[in-house]
């Protein structure tokens, strides 16, 4: 088979710590599963600013475009927060998403049985939860023009961002949501604020049209995004696939993270259009950020990153069996009572990032034996 080209961008804060554990699993696959990757690493975010003067060098951008999949840790941190907007670490990530046209961001929220108690919600509300948030990732208010901060004649200033969506931007991400729903619970909830925003009206109309044209086998409902935020904590199991815009998707997916117990549990896949072989440009990253409050202390939960790698195996490399193996190893280690601090519960054993990674490797060893 053709070489599997991976670009790893660890980034900042806990990024390198959690990606270190992913690298261990990649090494393990090489040795024990005879699945070999061509791995390159590069700089993104604050790390790239410090070493190369910008949050994403052109050479790294090019490597990302040429890779089969990019694995990213996290970017950002207080050290770079005062930089002008265009130079901030976060711009590196936004550039990757935009230039690779990764418009569909899949953020599954799955509650492992062993972690039912780690959620701040009642066990019966979250037990067995399995939802998929599809967040539009290259449009909307994150990229709309005009934008900026202006001086006004009277000495005040004005900050401007623009929410804008085109028909095609809406249809292509909605198609991804419908196709995913077909393989799951066959239900899509589309979220916007069509009651106050024209872009929301268009969103609702286009999603409905696409449904009626091509996806009548999937049940579609529409929900205002504020209500969706409420329903997610009231009764999250009513949802199967949620499709929504860039900003609402950012917020709803952080909210969904807490249903699973911790932001440290949530993986994501960002996908572009399929090429003629059906392969999509792809970037895989945990939903969480660089967690400056716990960085450098071996405290971070590496599971979101490990599950993101499992998504890469599933969506980019057609290695569903290996993806299952990693997901099962995680599940068994959690069932065995090991917890990083963020998912700690009474009676469990608290472990570090590295120890959690090693336990998952040992579990993989046993399962593959
Ligand atoms: P954050 O996700 O970094 O952290 C929020 C809270 O969750 C913190 O208390 C943190 O300790 C905890 N947390 C996050 N990941 C964890 C893990 N794996 N294990 C245990 N605990 C974890 O969000 P923030 O504090 O709002 O942002 C910090 C920086 O990260 C900012 O610069 C922000 O822009 C950036 N950020 C980057 C990404 C990304 O790279 N994709 C995503 C979100 C935020
Ligand atoms: C995320 C993050 C990013 C976003 C930031 C770091 C640009 O919060 O991936 O969820 O807002 O999309
Ligand atoms: Mn976010």
Is residue 250 annotated as a catalytic residue, yes or no?
yes
Q: How far apart are the first and last CA of the chain?
A: 24
Is the CB–ligand 1 distance for residue 194 below 6 Å? no
Predicted-complex ipTM score:
0.98
Ligand nearest to the CA of 304: 1
**Separation of CA 94 and ligand 3 centre (Å):** 12
Is residue 342 annotated as a catalytic residue, yes or no?
no
> How many CA atoms lie less than 13 Å away from 316 in the CB half-sphere?
27
Using alpha carbons, select from 206, 44, 56, 236 the residue that is nearest to residue 139: 206
Is the CB–ligand 2 distance for residue 93 below 6 Å? yes
Is the CB–ligand 1 distance for residue 73 below 6 Å? no
Is residue 5 annotated as a catalytic residue, yes or no?
no
The whole-angstrom separation of Cα 342 and Cα 279 is: 35
What are the C-alpha distances in Å from 86 to residues 270, 291, 331?
22, 22, 40
> How many CA atoms lie less than 13 Å away from 157 in the CB half-sphere?
4
Is residue 226 annotated as a catalytic residue, yes or no?
yes
**Separation of CA 217 and ligand 2 centre (Å):** 33
Is residue 113 annotated as a catalytic residue, yes or no?
no
Summarize pLDDT for 282-293 with one digit per residue, the tens.
999 999 999 999
Catalytic residue among 12, 240, 250, 322: 250
Nearest CA to ligand 1 atom 42: 289
**Separation of CA 287 and ligand 2 centre (Å):** 8
Please give the mean pLDDT across all residues of the chain. Answer: 96
pLDDT at site 119: 87
Summarize pLDDT for 291-337 with one digit per residue, the tens.
999 999 999 999 999 999 999 999 999 999 999 999 999 999 999 99
Q: Is residue 307 helix, strand or coil?
A: helix
Whether the per-residue pLDDT at 179 is higher than 80: the answer is yes
Q: What is the CA radius of gyration of the chain?
A: 20
Mean pLDDT of 177-197: 98
Inter-residue long-range contacts of 58-64, CB under 8 Å, 24+ positions, other chains counted: 60/7, 60/9, 61/95, 61/96, 61/99, 63/7, 64/7, 64/9, 64/96, 64/100, 64/283
Using alpha carbons, select from 337, 327, 335, 338 the residue that is nearest to residue 301: 338
- CA triple 36-39-44, angle to 5 deg: 155
Residue 162 bridge partners (DSSP): 144
Mean pLDDT of 273-286: 91
Whether the per-residue pLDDT at 40 is higher than 90: the answer is yes
Catalytic residue among 63, 186, 254, 350: 254
Is the CB–ligand 2 distance for residue 304 below 6 Å? no
Summarize pLDDT for 135-144 with one digit per residue, the tens.
999 999 999 9
Q: Domains (ranges, CATH) in the chain?
A: 1-115+265-369 (3.40.718.10), 130-259 (3.40.718.10)
Whether the per-residue pLDDT at 1 is higher than 80: the answer is no
Nearest CA to ligand 1 atom 36: 289
Is the CB–ligand 2 distance for residue 94 below 6 Å? yes
pTM: 0.96
- Residue 157 makes CB contacts below 8 A (sequence gap 6+) with 149, 150, 151
Residue to probe by mutation, ligand 1, list 263, 264, 338, most atoms within 8 Å of CB? 263
pLDDT at site 2: 65
């Amino acid at each position: 088979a053709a070489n599997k080209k991976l670009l790893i961008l660890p980034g900042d804060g806990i990024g390198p710590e959690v990606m270190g554990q992913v690298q261990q699993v990649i090494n393990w696959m090489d040795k024990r599963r005879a699945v070999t990757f061509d791995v390159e690493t590069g700089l993104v975010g604050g790390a790239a600013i410090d070493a190369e003067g910008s949050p994403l060098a052109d050479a790294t951008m090019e490597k990302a475009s040429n890779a089969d999949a990019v694995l990213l840790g996290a970017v950002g941190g207080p050290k770079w927060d005062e930089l002008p907007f265009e130079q901030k670490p976060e711009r590196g990530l936004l550039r990757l998403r935009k230039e690779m046209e990764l418009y569909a961001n899949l953020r599954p929220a799955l509650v492992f049985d062993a972690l039912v108690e780690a959620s701040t919600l009642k066990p019966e509300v979250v037990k067995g939860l399995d939802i998929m948030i599809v967040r539009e990732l290259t449009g909307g208010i994150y990229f709309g023009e005009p934008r900026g901060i202006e001086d006004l004649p009277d000495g005040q200033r004005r900050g401007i961002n623009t929410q804008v969506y085109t028909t095609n931007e809406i249809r292509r991400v909605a198609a991804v949501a419908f196709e995913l729903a077909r393989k799951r619970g066959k239900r899509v909830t589309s979220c916007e604020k069509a009651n106050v925003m024209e872009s929301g009206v268009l969103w609702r109309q286009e999603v409905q049209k696409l449904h009626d044209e091509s996806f009548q086998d999937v049940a579609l409902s529409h929900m205002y995004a504020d209500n969706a935020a409420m329903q997610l904590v009231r009764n999250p199991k009513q949802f199967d696939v949620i499709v929504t815009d860039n900003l609402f998707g950012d917020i709803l997916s952080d909210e969904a993270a807490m249903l699973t117990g911790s932001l440290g549990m949530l993986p994501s896949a960002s996908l572009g259009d399929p090429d003629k072989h059906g392969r999509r440009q792809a970037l895989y990253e945990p939903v969480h950020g660089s967690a400056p409050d716990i960085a450098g202390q071996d405290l971070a939960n590496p599971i979101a990153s490990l599950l993101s790698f499992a998504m890469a195996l599933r969506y980019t490399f057609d290695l569903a069996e290996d993806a299952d193996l990693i997901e099962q190893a995680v599940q068994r280690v959690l069932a065995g009572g090991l917890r990083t601090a963020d998912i700690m519960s009474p009676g469990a054993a608290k472990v570090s990032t590295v120890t959690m990674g090693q336990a998952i490797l040992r579990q993989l060893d046993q399962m593959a034996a």
